[in-house]
C-alpha cells in the first residue's frame, strides 16, 4: 500500500491555517484535515487538568505518531500545526522523515494577527507575534502563502497547483538538514 501524502500548514496562531485547511479539503476531496488543536482536545479529555493529572509526554509526540499511522494506511492528510519550539521540531522531523510531505509556510502580518486574536477572543493578545520569534526561522518551504494579502481561496489554489507541479517536495528534507546543524 502506498503511503498517504501529507500537506503541512505551518504558521503561528491565528495566521489562517485552520481556515486554509477547510478551503483545501474543498479542492482536494481525497484529503482529510487533522489539526493539532483538535487532537489536543482528545488529550484534554483523557487528562484531569483541574487536579494536575496530566499525561507526562507532549501532545505533539502522539499527534505525529497518529499522522504516521494514517499515512501508513494511504490516507492523505492536511496538518494544521505550529512548529513552535525545538522539541516539537525534533519530534516532527524524526517521526515523519520517511513520508512524502509538502511543507507550506502560512504567513500573516503582525497587525492582522493581533486583529484576529482580538476578534477570536480565545487567545492571549500578542501570542501569535511572540511565536514569530521561533516559527519560520529555520524552515525551508515548498510553497509559502500570505493570508494577509491574498484570500484563502487563492492561497488554497496555489497549494493545489504546487501539488500538481512535477518538481519534488524538498522543503521537509532541507529543513530537517538545517535543524540538525
User: pLDDT tens-digit profile of 6-34?
Assistant: 999 999 888 899 999 999 999 999 999 99
Check: CB of residue 98 under 8 Å from CB of residue 27. Answer: no
6-179 maps to which CATH number? 3.40.50.300
Domains of the chain, residue spans: 6-179
- Other Cβ atoms within 10 Å of 88 Cβ, number: 20
What pLDDT band is residue 179 in, cutting at 50, 70 and 90? Answer: low
User: pLDDT tens-digit profile of 56-77?
Assistant: 888 899 999 999 999 999 999 9
27-44: b (≥16 Cβ within 10 Å) or e: ebeebebbbbeebeeebe
Amino acid at each position: 500500500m502506498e503511503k498517504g501524502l501529507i500537506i503541512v500548514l505551518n504558521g503561528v496562531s491565528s495566521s489562517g491555517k485552520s481556515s486554509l485547511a477547510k478551503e483545501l479539503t474543498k479542492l482536494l476531496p481525497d484529503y482529510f484535515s487533522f489539526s493539532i488543536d483538535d487532537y489536543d482536545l482528545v488529550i484534554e479529555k483523557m487528562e484531569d487538568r483541574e487536579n494536575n493529572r496530566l499525561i507526562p509526554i507532549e501532545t505533539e509526540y502522539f499527534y505525529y505518531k497518529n499522522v504516521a499511522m494514517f499515512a501508513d494506511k494511504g490516507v492523505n492528510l492536511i496538518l494544521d500545526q505550529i512548529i513552535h519550539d525545538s522539541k516539537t521540531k525534533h519530534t516532527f522531523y524524526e517521526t515523519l522523515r520517511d513520508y512524502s510531505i509538502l511543507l507550506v509556510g502560512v504567513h500573516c502580518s503582525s497587525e492582522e494577527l493581533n486583529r484576529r486574536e482580538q476578534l477570536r477572543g480565545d487567545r492571549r493578545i500578542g501570542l501569535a507575534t511572540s511565536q514569530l520569534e521561533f516559527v519560520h526561522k529555520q524552515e525551508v518551504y515548498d510553497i509559502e502563502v500570505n493570508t494577509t494579502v491574498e484570500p484563502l481561496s487563492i492561497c488554497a489554489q496555489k497549494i493545489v497547483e504546487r501539488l500538481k507541479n512535477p518538481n519534488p517536495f524538498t522543503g521537509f528534507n532541507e529543513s530537517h538538514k538545517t535543524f540538525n546543524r
